[in-house]
Chain A
Amino acid sequence: MAVINSIEGLSEADRFLGDELYCIADAKLVLAGWYMMVLQNGRSIADFTSICAMMQGQYGHARALYQHLGRFGVTLEEVEWTRGAKDIRSPKLLDRPPQSWSDFVAAIFMAEQAISTQLSAYRTSLADRTLARLADKILKESRFHLSYSVGWIKALRKDPASTVDEDARRRLVEALDWWGEPDQPDIIFSSGYRDASDSDLRERFLNVVGTTFDVPDGIAGPAKSWRPSIRRTGSPGIPETLFEKIRFKNRELAMP
């Protein structure tokens, strides 16, 4: 796995920051892959348009974040070509394929909210002004992604038999795997790169989810094996089957 430690002279905080940004960028990369895979399941012509737009949005944000990661030694060559399924650091939430349109809507709601919540803590960063501006731009552009999922949730809920709330509960548990246990040391926060700690951001995420879904009390925290470099519990990487679908192909024909 490409752990960011190859660039000599990076402080510990920088290395943690690099890992976290890689996780955020990969979250966007895989979420873009989700939009691609679900595109043809769209339920109106405007859905086809919207999903194409959200796919581009996520790929564009991922690209900008990878470029920012250049200062940590990350190259697009590595990002697009030399990595395998085990090296992708997206949230566990995005491993399991959507089971229905309603599950898709619930999952993208959680993913979009989770990523935006984490990025919101970089918007005021004084330690890295470029990153702060990038985070701000990404957040502004993600606003309509959220309207899209909220609009669909509202439409689906009109059906008393809708499973969207159940789907959301399952996806919420998966989404929380992205944050570690509360109150663990958080060097990115203490060094001033983020303006909120992981614990606070987890709370912020639960609050914002709570405006759309019922959030059950005492929702389970992640197991001890959570690793900040991949923001996951358990073993690293995404399912091979997912990787095979979303990886890039025909390298010799890439446009400059």
Chain B
Amino acid sequence: MAQAAVARENAEEATEVALQTRIKAGATLEDISEMTPRYRDVLVATMAIAADLEIMTLPLDFDAIAFAPSINDRIAIASALQDEMGHAQVMFRMLEDFGFDSYHQVFERDPKNFKTFFLLEFGNLSPIDVGLGHLVGDQAGYITTCDLEQNCSFGPYSRSLRKVNFEENFHVKRGEYMIRHYMQQGPEIRKRVQERMDFWFPLGAEWFGATDDVKSRTDQLHYKIRGNSNDQLRQIWLQRLVPFCEQVGLKVPAHFDSEKGIYVLDYQMPILLNLETMKWDFRTVTWPEKLAQWKKGGPLKLPGLSRMQTELWGQDLW
């Protein structure tokens, strides 16, 4: 019996290695039947997170639409949200083919079980946050999805990201346009932007997850679900964001290290956000402490997703 189990394990291992070799040589998978269970699990986990991240923008952007300053601003943010919902639809549609039930996933699943990121779990306070959300958050998302589009070994997922990236690029540009404009609006508004950037920047930096020395999803790289590591993606984000901030006069806790030839954070990850003061404590903590904070989530996550799963009518509307 034990021998048979070992033989089976060896055979499975050989299949995994064969698939990894094929993928390393540049093969693209088109169908579930070509996948090993381990490949499928890694791919599905990646797509499921992507789908949850997209859907979380509904509660996130709703307030932003409601407090928009003008018809034009309301159209712009509604347009961005429309794009995100389109992406969510494509992601959940793809998951259907892997046996997921979209309706259950979106409307019946316990909000606690949605895998969203900390960055998306705080309500927007003003249009400044909308601009920073595009500049910091959509930028991070765009870098992640561009990597997936370029590198993902599952063809349909890579292709589906063409539309996603085409649209996300507009959101980032909108963010740059907004923040550039606000930074020209006098000291009072500049101060408000800086205060909110102090809040947003570390959220953006941790979007890419744990640093490479501790990260766990190495299978994503082995199977070429994505091409770049967490730290490599974070570096791209810093390369784009930090010079922009310097140009418009925003201070961020990161700089170019000319010796290393890369951008580096002025603090050592991970750090914790104080959820009472909403200020970052820049003292380094352990990764288990950070993971616990992510797991607990931000204040918008549960109420926001619960609202999406309920209906309000009559006097509850106005």
Contact = CB atoms under 8 A, between A and B. Distances in A.
Interface string A216-256: 00000000000000000000000101101100111111111
A50 to B, nearest CB: 9
Contacts of B78: 36, 52, 55-56, 59
Interface residues of B, number: 46
Contacts of B208: none
A60 B79 CA distance: 11
A46 B82 CA distance: 9
Given A36-B66, A248-B68, A253-B69, A56 B75 contact: yes
A37 interface: yes
A36 B65 contact: yes
Contacts of A239: 318
Contact of A248 (B55, B70, B318): B70
Nearest to A35: B78
A97 B313 contact: yes
Given A52-B78, A242-B318, A255-B73, A41 B313 contact: yes
Interface stretch (B32-40, B86-94, B157-165, B268-276): B86-94
B89 A49 contact: yes
Contacts of B86: 49
Contacts of B72: 63, 254-255
Contact of A46 (B58, B70, B89): B89
B133 to A, nearest CB: 14
Interface stretch (B217-225, B245-253, B288-296, B304-312): B304-312
A255 B70 contact: yes
B314 interface: yes
Contacts of A53: 82
Interface string A160-179: 00000000000000000000
A16 interface: no
Nearest to B67: A249
User: Which secondary structure dominates where chain B touches chain A?
Assistant: helix
A45 interface: yes
Given A40-B58, A59-B74, A256 B189 contact: no
B102 interface: yes
A79 B70 CA distance: 10
A97 B317 contact: yes
B49 to A, nearest CB: 16
B178 interface: yes
A247 to B, nearest CB: 10
B89 A63 contact: no
Given A49-B82, A241-B318, A253-B128, A80 B71 contact: yes
Contacts of B70: 76, 80, 248, 254-255
A11 interface: no
Interface string A59-103: 110110000000000001001100000000000000001111101
A17 to B, nearest CB: 22
Contacts of A241: 318
A162 B225 CA distance: 46
B47 interface: no
A60 B106 contact: no
A159 to B, nearest CB: 16
B158 to A, nearest CB: 21
A245 B66 contact: yes
B276 to A, nearest CB: 25
Contacts of B58: 39-40, 48
Contacts of B73: 248, 254-255
A45 B318 contact: no
A187 interface: no
Given A40-B308, A41-B312, 6 more contacts: A37-B317, A37-B318, A46-B85, A52-B82, A249-B67, A256-B181
24 contacts: A29-B71, A36-B78, A40-B62, A45-B85, A45-B92, A48-B58, A48-B88, A52-B82, A52-B85, A56-B75, A76-B70, A97-B314, A97-B315, A99-B314, A100-B313, A103-B313, A104-B313, A239-B318, A245-B66, A248-B70, A249-B66, A249-B69, A251-B69, A254-B70
